[in-house]
Amino acid sequence: MTTNKPLLLIIDDDPVIRDSLQFVLEAEFDIKTAESRADVRDLLLRLPRAPDAALLDLGLPPDVHSPEQGFALIGDLLAVSPNIKILVLSGQDDRQNVKHALALGAFDFVAKPCEVELLRGRLNHSLFIRDAEISLQQEVISREDGFIGSSPAMTSLRAQIAQLGDTPFPVLIEGPSGSGKELVARALHEGTSRESQPYLVINCAAMSAQLIEAQLFGHTKGAFTGANGAKAGFFEEANEGTLCLDEVGELPVELQAKLLRVLENGEFYRLGETQIRHSSARIVAVTNRDLRHEVTQRRFREDLYHRLSVFRIQVPALADRQEDRLLLLDHFNNFYSAQLNVPPFKLNSASSDSWLRYGFPGNVRELKNITVRLCMRLQGRVATTEDLEREFELGNALHEPPSPPETYPAVAALPSVPATDQPPADLVNSADEMAAQSALRELTSSDNFRLDVALRESEKRYIRAALGATAGNLSKASRMLGINRTTLYSRMQKYPELQPESD
């Protein structure tokens, strides 16, 4: 049954907490509950619409004593619903966990136990901010240039958008979470010859394989359970406009071959139909994954990667846009203070320097969330460095100049497996044998060997090597290690000896 209430997810491993929260909040919210990250993924595939908000415990199965599942779920939820407001409701409320959750994109952190009225107020406030942000997005879309910033990275990005906007070829937009890839995708449509045609977005992470296939290609009546009539898919409805494949790295492998066929010759079939149909839609693909790495791991088709990446745009992380941080602060400070009906806060010279030195691992999304919290708390006062440090995640101050941005022209095609990624088989076998012999010697020579200690030391050794090879650049080190930046930072936090020295 449809409802106009905001859709709220309650995610907690304790059934008493889930049931209690549902009981006290169900008058105001359409509530769905889950007890683990896997449950949430299954639930998201069945929901008729994206959730508006989530109450999330950090300690989830299989390890309820660790926050890692909760941290990962923040990213999962934002991938499916970029506008969702996530309130972490957890007893794992030490300062490090709070700041890391907020850096990953959580809007607020409420420590357990809490008063119901406090929780209700925080939820309602978060939805108020969400509605305001959606209005702001529409305002940005309607402007000629919706990008804020004058840094070299943004100048390069604008040039790529201008040059690629009217090309008929696919464009692959890559970049970290929270950096504004969706704005770039829309900018490739707005202000071009396709502007009068539809602009459609499908989130490849938010649906089951069957539902994505039906949404993309359409279906006939009776093609699957629930198909009560024929329906055109996005490829048809986009006509000669733009079809954006958001989170394309999550596209199920079984659908990648069908997508490749459309990209190669424009032909496709509706589900349950044998009639060939044609599409002239321009494809824009968006991902925060390294698709070249996904190809080497056989999780993404190499031929599809090359088709999607005829042109590539790398959206810069905020760490590479140092000059833009004060511009973004002014913009969101004025916007949120107007929405909250309070005067904007100010920075002094010391706090301004602190703002410029912070790394913003969560990119523009994190900057926005920090700004709205400062607007609420300071209400026109001057923000001190202590005020800012309460918001900043430890260890993410900048201690080096930002990396130079990627510049146009984009690379048309890159080899999916560089030669250095595939050492000769005899070298691999030799290295494996040497490693096995070394491990055996260590096991037999020690009476108190601990696997968990050995694994931690090995992890530290690789992290230290990657940081040394990249002069401490977390983005480059994470790519070298094959993990994302926030995962690298989370693992560094476990080891004090890996923390950057303060100035």
* pTM of the model as a whole: 0.70
Q: Is the pLDDT of residue 69 over 70?
A: yes
Whether 399 and 472 have beta carbons less than 8 Å apart is answered as: yes
* 21-25, 98-102, 291-295, 481-485, range with the lowest pLDDT: 481-485
Taking the CA atoms of residue 107, residue 110, residue 116 and residue 117 in that order, the dihedral angle to the nearest 10 degrees is -60
Query: Token match 């949430």: residue?
Result: 40
For 366, the token pair is: 């994190």
| 25/2 Cα distance (integer angstroms) | 18
Residues 181 and 197 in one domain: yes
| 323/398 Cα distance (integer angstroms) | 13
- The CA–CA distances, whole Å, from 84 to 55, 188, 231, 367, 454 equal 11, 24, 29, 16, 40
Residue 67 located in a structural domain: yes
Average pLDDT over residues 297-319: 94
Residues 40 and 91 in one domain: yes
Q: What angle do CA 446, 448, 451 make, to 5 degrees?
A: 95
Picking from 184, 361, 213, the residue whose alpha carbon sits closest to that of residue 284 is 184
Q: Which pLDDT does position 500 carry in this prediction? A: 60
Q: Which pLDDT does position 425 carry in this prediction? A: 43
Average pLDDT over residues 193-209: 89
For 475, the token pair is: 């983005």
Residues 268 and 179 in one domain: yes
* 108-112, 220-224, 320-324, 429-433, range with the lowest pLDDT: 429-433
Domain boundary among 367, 391, 415: 391
Q: What SS3 state is found at 145?
A: coil
Query: Token match 């994505």: residue?
Result: 212
Parent domain of 76: 7-141
| Confidence band for 429, pLDDT divided at 50, 70 and 90 | very low
Beta pairing class for 231-232 and 218-219: antiparallel
Residues 84 and 154 in one domain: no
| CA atoms within 13 Å, Cβ hemisphere of 95 | 7
Query: Token match 């990627």: residue?
Result: 406
- CATH number for the domain harbouring residue 359: 1.10.8.60
Q: How many domains, the chain?
A: 4
Cβ neighbours of 146 (radius 10 Å):
16
Residue 443 located in a structural domain: yes
Residues 440-473: pLDDT tens digits? 555 555 566 666 676 777 778 778 878 877 777 7
Residues 39 and 170 in one domain: no
Residue 270 located in a structural domain: yes
N-term to C-term CA, the chain: 58
Q: At 263, which amino acid appears?
A: L
| 462/480 Cα distance (integer angstroms) | 10
Average pLDDT score over the chain: 84
* 18-27, 114-123, 430-439, range with the lowest pLDDT: 430-439
Whether 183 and 174 have beta carbons less than 8 Å apart is answered as: no
Paired residues of 54 in beta bridges: 9, 86
Residues 195 and 277 in one domain: yes
Q: Which pLDDT does position 391 carry in this prediction? A: 92
| Confidence band for 9, pLDDT divided at 50, 70 and 90 | very high
Contacts of 206 (CB under 8 A, 6+ apart): 44, 45, 50, 79, 80, 81, 247
Residue 86 located in a structural domain: yes
Paired residues of 231 in beta bridges: 219
Residues 359 and 475 in one domain: no
Q: What angle do CA 333, 179, 177 make, to 5 degrees?
A: 120
For 503, the token pair is: 């100035």
Query: Token match 């449809």: residue?
Result: 2
Residue 410 located in a structural domain: no
Q: Which pLDDT does position 161 carry in this prediction? A: 93
More confident residue, 411 or 249: 249
Residues 63 and 87 in one domain: yes
| Confidence band for 501, pLDDT divided at 50, 70 and 90 | low
Average pLDDT over residues 177-206: 91
| Confidence band for 2, pLDDT divided at 50, 70 and 90 | low
* 43-52, 233-242, 368-377, 406-415, range with the lowest pLDDT: 406-415
| DSSP states along 241-280 | SEEEEETGGGS-HHHHHHHHHHHHHSEE--BT----EE--
Residues 347-404: pLDDT tens digits? 999 999 999 999 999 999 999 999 999 999 999 999 999 999 999 986 665 544 444 4
- CATH number for the domain harbouring residue 442: 1.10.10.60
Residues 178 and 306 in one domain: yes
What are the backbone angles phi and psi of residue 52, rounded to the nearest 5°? Answer: -90, -35
Q: Which pLDDT does position 68 carry in this prediction? A: 93
Residue 282 located in a structural domain: yes
Residues 131 and 160 in one domain: no
For 262, the token pair is: 């459309």
Whether 115 and 92 have beta carbons less than 8 Å apart is answered as: no
Burial class (CB in 10 A: 0-12, 13-18, 19+), 268: buried
Q: Which pLDDT does position 210 carry in this prediction? A: 82
Domain boundary among 141, 162, 194: 141
| 361/397 Cα distance (integer angstroms) | 10
Residue 2 located in a structural domain: no
Q: Which pLDDT does position 71 carry in this prediction? A: 93
- Tell me the helices (H) and strands (E) count for the chain, helix number first: 20, 16
Average pLDDT over residues 6-10: 96
Q: Which pLDDT does position 385 carry in this prediction? A: 94
- CATH number for the domain harbouring residue 136: 3.40.50.2300
| Confidence band for 423, pLDDT divided at 50, 70 and 90 | very low
- Nearest-Å Rg of the Cα atoms of the chain is 24
Q: Which pLDDT does position 424 carry in this prediction? A: 41
Residues 432 and 306 in one domain: no
Residue 305 located in a structural domain: yes
Domain boundary among 92, 111, 141: 141
Picking from 13, 14, 8, the residue whose alpha carbon sits closest to that of residue 28 is 8
Residues 226 and 299 in one domain: yes
